[in-house]
Chain A
């Protein structure tokens, strides 16, 4: 039934391509290139071998190389793999400064040393793409903030947008660029307090407040009196002038209530003393009072529907009349009270309450019914009998303390929301510390992994049913589920959480822009940029578009503000719409998103270096090593250049400095090609009065010009982009950083994606069907 390659070793015949200059790739037909091998070899040829020749090869060359360590034979990834033991040793020697020996004339600079070590690290981590697939381990995984919030939403049917349940939860730490990495998600007392707060609040929202139904009157709280007269025994007043009793009542639940008061009066003139009862200033009852003394006092009551919130209720004496020694009309208002909600029928309860609490006979059978509904959902698997008993034990102990049935049920809910079986998800590997033993996830474990990948939430009924029937592990069923789940609006979580982190959209709010330099920037625009990026990624995902579309698209999603920034005509209003660009437009794709251009800028200007780095790191997955600390800043490195040197001229200084050139010859041209976009992403032809030059040459002599040229270069490097995207998405899908041993799996996912027309949805399907997603192995004790 499952005929996938992950059970056995996948063998791909794959020739390691000859060293390719960066920017050139094999045609898409035939065996795909190995982009990581290409990258390593290219760096070896351009950056590393010259350093080795200067500093190492006097001794480490030929058959008589010192220590038997030959560096002159390094020419391809094959030779790296063959010599890995020697290279590991060399790495230690170079990084700790033991090699080259101190008496060497040409000692490498710290930066050169770093360049060599960085390359050696990457080379030693190189795993041929055709090796055996190792699914890696699965660590017990605390729900992160988004997962927790969405799970509460789906379990308890809470409209999350209306309630901020996670505001007190600490932000989750990021590892490998994502905040859902199991090994990085920790638990502290601060978390525990926040989870308790959130659980209690969630239960209150899901079931509504706990209220007693009945008609027993309760005195109004903190009554304020206006008007003259004598106080009465039950908190009221005998009014000798017009006046009122008023009180602010907290109504917790919508329903029918009864407001009442005991009244009597003295007559004078033509009318009876009049009582007016008002709610938030609006009269709900007006009555002439006939009773003339306390013994015959009249109980006046009015029933009415009240909504949740603070309500001001008041009782007024409105028609005082006094002719000295002739007539005196007065009114006593006492025992001013409220009762209710009067009946269960009159109360508006949340759906969850109606379905699982209302109308049951109080008692243990009801508690059992609730447990049987709750546990399989909250724990995302059938509960063990002992878990059910334990939860009912909680119910019993609360009842034994003399608390009410409903209170005990609420405590059961809160308890489950605090249980580690709810807060953590995991797989039951039979030998968790045995790295040799591969375990296939159960149907329920797989359902959970799948729903947290695509929805950042718990499995729904359909997934749960399929898992219970033992059908979910079937390839065809899984494929159908992936398609269904991606079509569901809940897959917005994948866009928000995956794209939001991969493309750094979540850092947008932290980007500081100097408004005096960019007066057209606004917080609305910042939000628009994020929306645009999400709409764009969501469109590629759901419209069955290929991943090439991410690099170069024909459409953008804009509203009026963004359209104005981008120089597009005819878009009005705040609403976003798809606009198809004409062929000459440079916009389209990730690189020209306002979000991308902003997130790679400094507060006062663009940063070609950051933009170059963004492309290398987030699109191609080949970031250069970070700069050493004592590197000159670019504005000041250009000594000898005039005050009015352009950014390009200043950056050119990188290329004359040996410690800069290896990395900056890759970054700077990419960033400079984007210089027509200012720090907030608007088009410009000049900067500080000088026309912008976007022509660039990459290492290996590849020439290109501007954003269009850059996009076409990236299209040539589709292999690298595809593999990098697969690696990022796999990291997110399994909540574990991709390790060198994941390379064959990533390569397989990338290969299948390519065969499926490079559709983004096909990549997701391939991940879900992969052994890395569906199995795990043990991990040695740390």
Chain B
């Protein structure tokens, strides 16, 4: 790893000094500088309010539920065997039980719970069963928010993960691999690809370190994008409605890159990684190190206000990876069908705990980054969970959900909240979207908002 001392070479420092007039609508430009001022204020410890962020962390294959779920509710609940690693951060998190993803159930579609568990996790919609010719799900909660408030940051959202999709064959029972490889969906048929390599995440967040190259690249790209936008408008007139929808993905990607270019010049040193931040060198060999490093990237993204919305897919729906560092050499998915065989249950509990340990480390780190009068974590809503409750049963009620952070003072962590059975998980999303400042009338199969998160 190398250490970044980027102040001398920072792209955005350069851009501020560029003195090149780039067209930006006045209103938007003013709005941006206000946002940046707030973030900068938070970083320097002033009283200005820090922005609220939200992230969704997905773990595959559910958990061994009896070892995971606390048996008593309230503030003095006892941490369970699997949740024990949360002890040092329990004041920062709520354990949520009783939440359900009804649309991950078969509902007449037959097998495929793993594909559905990831596809439905953040969308709350029933995935159309297809191997690809007519994919249909729905915008995910992160993209719903990104569509409304994403333009406040250079990146509307980031999508990261630790496992690539399958390269061949079937993923799950007639569902396209797109369903099991993505959490985040821009619209009903466009998944947002996730970044697996921590060094690409770093590059996406902070760009190239070469001052001259960065400068030249931006001006080069503006004329290219103008040309490309013109080409695609012309092509559009020749297409039928289905293909136009497909080309629309292209056009909105062009617009998004243009927006990022314009946004880049409004940034300040607060949007740069702290001096001495290690630059990742690639994908670590051990799963745990990989997950930790991706959590670090997520923290950096929030800390530097590059984005306020993130999804993190620690493993694919139905992941069958092994965990050599904790002595588990059988595949996760195979083990999850343990039928209460003690040897296998023990291994599953090890894996569950392993994921919890990684999350606890992240929560702890986020709670130690000072921001305003509190911590970065205080200005976050970080949901951690799975779209399946018990991997052995493939059930989608009683999901294992943890919510970390104070949501900028709107959540009261430190408790186990047991919701009424069959409460839609989407009710939580409604609540989070509202906190983020989104206009939301309905989402997925939500029946309302969750009331008990604040006391």
Residue among B131, B164, B392 making CB contact with A176, cutoff 8 Å: B131
CB <8 Å contact, A504 and B168:
yes
Return the contact of A175 from the options B176, B217, B260, B394 (Cβ within 8 A). B176
B133 at the interface (CB under 8 A from A): yes
Interface presence of A179 (CB below 8 A)? yes
| Extra 6 A-B pairs, beta carbons < 8 Å, given A174-B167, A184-B178, A737-B130 | A175-B130, A177-B131, A196-B257, A386-B234, A393-B227, A604-B330
Determine if A186 and B330 form an interchain contact, defined as CB atoms under 8 angstroms apart. Answer: no
20 A-B residue pairs with CB within 8 Å: A95-B108, A174-B167, A174-B177, A176-B132, A177-B170, A415-B223, A419-B232, A421-B235, A426-B239, A429-B240, A502-B168, A507-B169, A604-B329, A626-B111, A629-B393, A630-B394, A633-B339, A737-B131, A781-B240, A782-B245
Task: Report the minimum CB–CB distance from B344 to chain A (whole Å).
Answer: 7
> In the complex, which residues of chain B have a beta carbon less than 8 angstroms from the beta carbon of A190?
159, 192-193, 195, 204
CB distance from A584 to the nearest CB of B (A): 33
Give Cα A165–Cα B41 distance, bound, in whole angstroms: 40
Using known A-B contacts A183-B132, A636-B339, determine if residue A173 contacts B231 with beta carbons closer than 8 Å: no
Q: Mark A236-248, 1 if CB is under 8 A from B, else 0.
A: 0000000000000
* Cross-chain contact B166 with A432 (CB below 8 angstroms): no
Q: Which residues of A contact B191 (CB under 8 A)?
A: 173, 186, 188
CA A178 – CA B168 in complex, angstroms?
6
Are the C-beta atoms of A139 and B242 separated by less than 8 Å?
Answer: yes
A367 → chain B closest CB, angstroms:
14
Looking at A192, A500, A632, the one whose CB has the most chain B CB atoms below 10 A away is A192
Nearest chain B CB to A749 CB, angstrom units: 19
Chain B min CB distance to A189 (Å)? 4
Distance of A578 from chain B, by nearest CB (Å): 26
User: How many whole Å from B431's CB to the nearest CB in chain A?
Assistant: 28
Q: A114-B111, A174-B165, A512-B329 are in contact. Are A184 and B242 (CB under 8 A)?
A: no
Q: Is A347 an interface residue (CB 8 A)?
A: no
Q: Tell me whether B365 is interfacial, beta carbon within 8 Å.
A: no
Q: Does A739 contact B (CB under 8 A)?
A: yes
B91 to chain A, nearest CB (A): 36
B197-237 CB contacts (< 8 Å) to partner A: 200, 204, 217, 220-221, 223-225, 227-228, 230-232, 234-235
A635 beta carbon closer than 8 Å to chain B? yes
Partner of B177, one of A173, A394, A431, A737: A173
On whether A501 and B224 interact (CB within 8 A), knowing A140-B246, A630-B393, the answer reads: no
- Which of B164, B168, B193, B238 counts the most A-chain CB atoms under 10 A from its CB? B168
The answer to whether A184 and B240 have CB atoms under 8 Å apart is no
CB–CB A173/B329 < 8 A: no
Inter-chain contact A390/B241, CB cutoff 8 Å:
no
Q: Give the CA-CA distance A625 to B111 in the complex, in Å.
A: 8
B171 partner residues in chain A, CB cutoff 8 A: 174
Known contacts A140-B239, A736-B133; A390 and B227 CB within 8 A of each other: yes
> Does any Cβ of B come within 8 Å of A118's Cβ?
yes
Among candidates A186, A428, A514, A782, residue contacting B249 with C-beta atoms closer than 8 Å: A186
A364: Cβ under 8 A from any B Cβ? no
Known: A173-B177, A433-B240, A782-B242. A603 touches B322 (CB 8 A): yes
Q: Mark A618-637, 1 if CB is under 8 A from B, else 0.
A: 10000001111111110111
Are the CB atoms of A192 and B253 closer together than 8 Å? yes
**Using Cβ atoms and an 8 Å threshold, which residues of chain A touch B165?**
171, 173-174
Residues of chain A contacted by B441 (CB below 8 angstroms): none
In this assembly, does B76 line the interface, its C-beta being within 8 Å of a C-beta of chain A? no
Chain A positions within 8 Å of B9 at CB level? none
Select the residue from B240, B254, B256 with max chain A CB neighbours within 10 A: B240
At the interface, yes or no: B338 with Cβ under 8 Å from chain A? yes
Write the nearest CB–CB distance from B387 to chain A, whole angstroms. Answer: 13
Instruction: Name A196's contact: one of B173, B224, B341 (CB within 8 Å).
Output: B224
A602 contacts the other chain (Cβ, under 8 Å)?
A: yes
A631 proximity list for chain B (CB < 8 A)? 337
Report if A258 contacts B (CB, 8 A).
no
Which B-chain residue is minimally distant from A778 (CB atoms)? Answer: B240
Whether B132 lies near A96 (C-beta < 8 A) is: no
- CB-defined interface of A749-782 with B at 8 Å, one 1/0 digit per residue? 0000000000000000000000000000011011
> In the complex the two chains form, what is the Cα distance from A191 to B190 in whole Å?
12
Q: Is B113 an interface residue (CB 8 A)?
A: yes
Residues of B with C-beta under 8 A to A96:
108
Contacts of A393 in B (CB 8 A): 227
Complex: chain A residue closest to B190, CB-CB: A186
Please tell me if the beta carbons of B168 and A419 are within 8 angstroms of each other in the complex. Answer: no
- List residues of chain B with CB under 8 Å of any chain A CB: 108, 110-113, 130-135, 159, 164-173, 176-178, 181-182, 186, 189-195, 200, 204, 217, 220-221, 223-225, 227-228, 230-232, 234-235, 238-243, 245-247, 249-250, 253-254, 256-257, 260, 321-322, 329-331, 334, 337-339, 341, 344, 392-394
Residues of B within 8 A of A193 (CB): 204, 257
B181: chain A residues within 8 A (beta carbon):
173
Query: Which of A95, A418, A433, A737 is most buried by chain B, counting CB atoms within 10 A of its CB?
Result: A418
Interface residues of A in 146-202 (CB under 8 A from B): 168, 170-171, 173-179, 181, 183-184, 186-193, 196, 200
Partner of A633, one of B182, B337, B393: B337
CB atoms of A420 and B169 under 8 A apart: no
Taking the closest CB of chain A, its distance from the CB of B72, in whole angstroms, is 29
Whether the Cβ atoms of B227 and A171 lie closer than 8 Å is no
Could you say which of A92, A510, A739 contacts B133, with CB atoms under 8 Å apart?
Answer: A739
Q: Which residues of chain B are near A189, meaning CB under 8 Å?
A: 253, 256-257, 260
Query: Nearest B residue to A415 by beta-carbon distance?
Result: B227
Inside 8 A of A628's CB, which chain B residues have their CB? Answer: 111
Tell me the complex Cα distance, A704–B436, Å.
65
Cβ–Cβ contact A635 & B228, under 8 A: no
Q: How far is the CA of A401 from the CA of B167 in the complex (A)?
A: 46
- Contacts known (A429-B240, A507-B166); A635 close to B341, Cβ less than 8 A: yes
Residues from chain B with a CB closer than 8 A to the CB of A632 are 339
Measured CA separation A189–B190 after assembly (Å): 11
Q: Which residues of B contact A603 (CB under 8 A)?
A: 322, 329-331
Given contacts A139-B246, A193-B204, contact A507 B193 (CB under 8 A): no
Q: Are A602 and B177 in contact (CB under 8 A)?
A: no
Chain A residues with CB under 8 A of B230: 390
Contact with B along A425-445 (1 / 0, CB 8 A): 010110111000000000000
Q: Which residues of A contact B200 (CB under 8 A)?
A: 168
* Closest-CB distance, B393 to chain A (whole angstroms): 6
| A633 and B338 contacting across the interface, CB-CB below 8 Å | yes
Are B228 and A184 closer than 8 Å at their CB atoms?
no
Give the Cβ gap from A253 to chain B, nearest Cβ, in Å. 17
Cβ A177 vs Cβ B186 within 8 A: no
Tell which of B110, B189, B223, B243 touches A394, judged by Cβ atoms closer than 8 Å: B223
Contact of B227 among A394, A504, A507, A781 (CB under 8 A): A394
What is the CA–CA distance of A636 and B343 in the complex, to the nearest angstrom?
10
Chain B residues with CB under 8 Å of A386's CB are 234
Chain B residues contacting A184 (CB-CB under 8 Å) are: 132, 135, 176, 178
* Chain A nearest Cβ from B397, distance in angstroms: 14
Which residue on A lies nearest to B156, using beta carbons? A189
B244 to chain A minimum Cβ distance, whole angstroms, is: 9
Q: Would you call B167 and A420 a contact (CB within 8 A)? A: no
A73 near B: Cβ within 8 Å?
no
- Contact check, B186 vs A500: say whether CB atoms are below 8 A apart: no
A79 interface residue, CB < 8 Å from B?
A: no
Q: Taking A632-B339, A633-B337 as contacts, is the C-beta distance between A420 and B228 under 8 angstroms?
A: yes
CB of B199, distance to nearest CB on chain A (Å) = 10
The residue of chain A having its C-beta at the shortest distance from the C-beta of B340 within the complex is A636
Query: Residues of A contacting B330 with CB < 8 Å?
Result: 602-604
Min Cβ gap B339→A in Å is: 5
Q: Is A411 at the interface (CB under 8 A from chain B)?
A: yes
Task: Write out the residue numbers on chain B whose beta carbons fall within 8 Å of the beta carbon of A300.
Answer: none
Which B-chain residue is minimally distant from A97 (CB atoms)? B108
- CB atoms of B240 and A174 under 8 A apart: no
Residue of A nearest to B217 (CB): A200
Q: Are B253 and A183 in contact (CB under 8 A)?
A: no
